Structure 1
Amino acid sequence: MNWPVFFTRLGSAIVFAIIMMFGLLYSHPMAIIGLALLIQFLCIREFMALVAKIFPEAYFPSWLTMLTQVAGVVVLLSVPLLAIIPGFFVVSFILPVLILLVTILQKKTALTAGFTALAALLYISIPMACLITLRGGAGSFHFAIPLALILMIWMNDTMAYIVGSFIGRTPFSPISPKKTWEGTAGGALLTIAGAAVWGYFSPLQQYHMSDWMVLAFCAAVAGTAGDLLESKLKRMAGIKDSGNIMPGHGGALDRFDSLLVTLPFAFCYAAFFMVHT
Structure 2
Amino acid sequence: MGLDMPMDGYAVWILMFLLLAVTVVSKNETTLDGAALLLLGALYVGYGFGSMLQVRAFHEHGLFLSFLCFGCIWASDIGAYFIGKAIGRTKLWPAISPNKTIEGSLGGVLASIAVAAVFHFAAPEWIGLGHAVSIGLVAAVAGQFGDLIQSAYKRLRGVKDSGRLLPGHGGVLDRCDSWIIVFPLLVLTGLVPV
Quickly name the TM-score band, shorter chain normalised: 0.7 to 0.9
Where does 1:140-179 land on structure 2 (aligned, <5 Å)? 140-174=60-94, 175-179=96-100
Residues 164, 146 of structure 1: CA spacing in aligned structure 2 closer, same or farther, 3 A cutoff? same
Equivalent residue for 1:228, pick from 148, 159, 174? 148
* 8 Å Cα contact 1:130/1:263 also seen in 2: yes
Aligned to 1:181: 102
Residues 112, 218 of structure 1: CA spacing in aligned structure 2 closer, same or farther, 3 A cutoff? same
| 2:79 equivalent to 1:125 | no
Percent identical pairs in the alignment equals 33
Q: Partner amino acid for 1:116?
A: L
* 8 Å Cα contact 1:226/1:257 also seen in 2: yes
Distance 2:8 2:134 in 1: 29
Where does 1:37-56 land on structure 2 (aligned, <5 Å)? none
* 8 Å Cα contact 1:103/1:113 also seen in 2: no
Q: Partner amino acid for 2:72?
A: M
| 2:185 equivalent to 1:265 | yes
Q: Partner amino acid for 1:169?
A: R
* 8 Å Cα contact 2:97/2:151 also seen in 1: yes
Residue by residue over 1:224-246, the C-alpha shift from the partner in whole angstroms, topping out at 9 and shown as x without a partner, is: 00101110111111111111212
* 8 Å Cα contact 2:22/2:30 also seen in 1: no
Q: Partner amino acid for 1:142?
A: G
Distance 1:234 1:180 in 2: 19
Equivalent residue for 2:20, pick from 65, 83, 101? 101
Residues 273, 177 of structure 1: CA spacing in aligned structure 2 closer, same or farther, 3 A cutoff? closer
* 8 Å Cα contact 2:68/2:119 also seen in 1: no
Aligned to 2:173: 253
Residues 112, 141 of structure 1: CA spacing in aligned structure 2 closer, same or farther, 3 A cutoff? farther
Q: Partner amino acid for 2:179?
A: L
5+ long unaligned stretches in structure 1: 1-86
Aligned to 1:192: 113
* 8 Å Cα contact 1:134/1:146 also seen in 2: yes
Q: How far apart are 1:91 and its partner, in Å?
A: 5.3
Q: How far apart are 1:275 and its partner, in Å?
A: 4.1
Residues 214, 242 of structure 1: CA spacing in aligned structure 2 closer, same or farther, 3 A cutoff? same
Aligned to 1:19: none
Superposition misfits of 4+ residues, deviation over 3 angstroms: 87-91, 272-276
- Kindly indicate which of the two structures has a greater share of residues assigned to helix: 1
Q: Partner amino acid for 2:49?
A: M
Q: Partner amino acid for 2:46?
A: S
Distance 1:88 1:238 in 2: 37
TM-score after normalising by structure 1: 0.62
Distance 1:188 1:181 in 2: 11
| 2:178 equivalent to 1:219 | no
Residues 204, 104 of structure 1: CA spacing in aligned structure 2 closer, same or farther, 3 A cutoff? farther
Secondary structure (helix, strand or coil) at the match of 1:245 reads coil
Q: How far apart are 1:206 and its partner, in Å?
A: 2.7
Q: How far apart are 1:194 and its partner, in Å?
A: 2.6
